[in-house]
Amino acid sequence: MRIEVNGQVFTAQPRPGQCLRTLLRELGLFGVKKGCDAGDCGACTVHIDGRPVHSCLFPAFRAAGHQVTTIEGLSSGAQLHPLQRDFLAAQGFQCGFCTAGMIMTVAALDPGQQQDLPRSLKGNLCRCSGYRAIDDAIHGIAHAEDATDPGESCGRNLPAPAGPDIVTGAARYTLDVAMEGLLHLKLLRSPHAHARIVAIDTSAARAVPGVRAVFTHEDAPKRLYSSGRHENPDDDPSDTLLFDDVVRFTGQRVAAVVADSVAAAEEGCRRLVVDYDVMPSVFDPEEAMAPGSPLLHGDKSAGRHIARPERNIAAEVHGDVGDVEAAFEQADAIHEHTYVSHRVQHAHLETHASIAWVDEAGRLVVRTSSQVPFLTKRALCSLFDLPEEKVRVMCGRVGGGFGAKQEMLTEDVVALAALRTGRPVQLEFTRQEEFEATVTRHPVTVDVKAGARSDGTLTALRLRVVANTGAYGNHACIVFHACNESIGVYRCANKKVDGYAVYTNTVPAGAFRGYGLSQGVFAVESAIDELAHEIGMDPVAFRERNIIRPGDDMVSFHTPSADEARIGSYGLDQCLTLVDEALNRGNGAQPPAEEGWSVGKGVALSMIDTIPPRGHRAEARIRLLTDGGYQLAVGMAEFGNGTTTVHQQLAAAVLGTTVDRIRIEQADTDHVGHDTGAFGSTGTTVTGLAVTRAAEALRDRIAAVGGQRAAQAAGKELQAVGTSDGAPCSVAFNVHGFRVAVCAGTGEIRILQSVHGADAGRVINPMQCRGQIEGGVAQALGAALYESFVVDGAGHVTTATFRNYHIPSFGDVPRTEVYFAETSDVLGPLGAKSMSESPFNPVAPALANAVRDATGIRFGTLPLARDRVHAATAADLGTRANPR
């Protein structure tokens, strides 16, 4: 057929059942993205005769005779479409994976539709931004400054260097490349929660036309490893095989089929015949720890860094200071309750994906969507017994991560296939696979007991934390984090913690924004609020009386570490004041006038170490170019965290130049120095410090040769290296507050005002930092109100699409007032601290505290869904009407 795309006529023959999205990408139009393949996310939006459609649902053959416009054709030559300019000016994106589809949808709206954006944009999802910057872009509100303007680079709203490519569809994400001879890999996954594989018959699969290879546990290395990646490999249990003869959760990979097309690989998977010996399963962590429970990794020794395999305990932490029991006896008020945080999925729009091939020099090359390219390279070298010089790992732009891409979930299997076939091999997860077979936030149950005297002094804090780590312990060490800063932020001489991360036959849990801390903070901040109510003290004043202060010892418990956490700057008191004053001003919406609504306000706070424990390293290299610019090389990947912009600003500030003269190369293990990775809030604090040190060293060398012009005249390309190991680290603080209205008749929670106070040290890029906070708040609101990852009684995931797993859309997210404390950190680069994970942490308890203030009911289980709230408020009304 003939198809006109962006004014150019193509001749194409769609395959039976092919959608327009895949056809357009085959034509090289990579601005058309895949986020769901179900019409739920809008990342694939294009215009058909000027009308926006989700191209994943539009049959390719129906495009014949119509004009198709993609993001690449929206501009006219070098002249950007006005909406593209507006998205640049407002910086209406973070990772940018949704941006092309978002712009295409908005570009087709009429004036009436633009007046009702919640309805008009309900089919376009963004997981990163919180939608405020998108709203500003649509309304022509600019934030970005000119990157070529002279002056101090830090503290300004300078734009992301990738912005023009993002709004035009030119940014290249993992699979936005065309490769000759590319094969496709699909995975057969287990239908059972726990079973031994007796046999696999591959003959019918191999007979499918186009199938090139089939791999099972008999073809894979027998070396145990962890899919979770940390600088210190011993931080995670070595409990995983590339393919195992025992499956421990429904959805675990069983075999791989490699074929000329995705369809052939999928058909090959359907024709594999597997004989399973089904074994007993356990899904509840308390049951899993009980004697006689089915053991998931009972065949593995403690030498595999599993705490107690005979009790299904992957990791544990215990500690106490003072005399907790005596302190409870001295308390005038005690609160004791169980708090439950549920599973949440990361839902980044770009699914996990990798391409692997063997280059002309015989080296394994992997292009992947990863937050940790260097750690992935290390793991591949170990797994396949390859020397470091024989492996290269690189990233394009990464379409969101939030911790899920700190895993090695695709790279190992495509590497196996590429090494065995000698052909390039691609694996792209479907949205269903993201839900059923990657990782989630840890479900955590916290038994908390807290005591205080009537004057508002905390006397004792005790936590028992049980985290469900799922079938594998790839990030079981989150249990240490849950027990650490959540109580470390309070001055209290008597503390006790017992924490367990427990194996169950469910989808594995992994790193998720906040890394276990949000679950601990939900419990502790709810308990703090209850104590304040019990003694009749204002909750903000109660916190102000007990929060840690500069000079105090942080009495808490965490993994053994050489990294000492310090208060490098202190703005927690400012954050509390800023949020409290904003709530008292009462900005925002008014409560509904109808009867049945009650109004309340609540706050919560959190503290976070600005690097993960037990090591995080970064090396930055910078050189002076002959044209007077600078080449900066860093190992950290960019996935909407904004580190690229910050690194430019830090280097420019030290060198006394403008950011447009700092050219960045990143996330390629061949061309840049080692970087542990983009996780644990380290982009600014660790890699940024390495960048600052490298720039300082280069500045000194330039001065030593008589200045930049003298170096250029001599034809010298001066260069320098800076490193950082993240020690010692500082702590960052966050406070969130809500005013809410709650309807007892329906269970609806309506947010009237949302306020966030952040201590980020010296804020390098206020626009970008605010965006990180807004995105974190939006994600946390989704988790607090309605996101719920459901696993049934047989271990099957029942919320495996965006349609039945509700992430926030445009109309769901209120505008958040963001206030920054005025501090400068003595440990961070040019006074900066991190602000990527931490905004998430205080949101759920602040909301629960506001609901408690409105209704008098303490909700200890998340999410605060309408049915749960309605059931509790209805029961409460019945109790008041009929006292028992």
Q: What is the mean pLDDT of each run of 10 residues along the chain (884 residues)?
A: 94 94 97 96 98 98 96 91 98 98 97 95 97 97 94 95 97 97 98 98 98 98 96 91 98 98 98 98 98 96 88 96 96 98 98 98 98 97 98 97 97 98 98 98 98 97 98 93 92 96 98 94 98 98 97 69 78 98 93 94 95 84 94 95 96 96 96 93 93 97 87 82 92 97 96 98 97 97 97 96 96 97 97 95 98 97 97 74 32
List, in sequence order, every beta strand (DSSP E) within 610-728.
Answer: 618-624, 630-634, 662-666, 719-724
Tell me, what's the pLDDT at 132?
97
Tell me, what's the pLDDT at 826?
96
Q: CA 40, CA 123: separation in Å to the nearest integer?
A: 6
Tell me, what's the pLDDT at 884?
25
Q: CA 479, CA 349: separation in Å to the nearest integer?
A: 27
Terminal-to-terminal C-alpha distance of the chain: 76
Tell me, what's the pLDDT at 581?
98
User: What torsion, rounded to 10 degrees, do the Cα atoms 530, 536, 539, 542 define?
Assistant: -100
Q: What's the angle, vertex CA 752, arms to CA 751 and CA 753, rounded to 5?
A: 100
Q: What's the angle, vertex CA 651, arms to CA 646 and CA 656, rounded to 5?
A: 125
Tell me, what's the pLDDT at 541?
98
467 close to 479: Cβ distance less than 8 angstroms = yes
Give me the amino acid identity at 302.
Answer: A
Tell me, what's the pLDDT at 557?
74
In this structure, the number of other CB atoms found within 10 A of the CB of residue 127 comes to 27
- Provide the 3-class DSSP secondary structure of residue 93: coil
pTM of the model: 0.96
For residues 209-240, b (16+ Cβ closer than 10 Å) or e, as one string? ebbbbbbbbebbeeebbbbbbbbebebbbbbb
689 close to 826: Cβ distance less than 8 angstroms = no
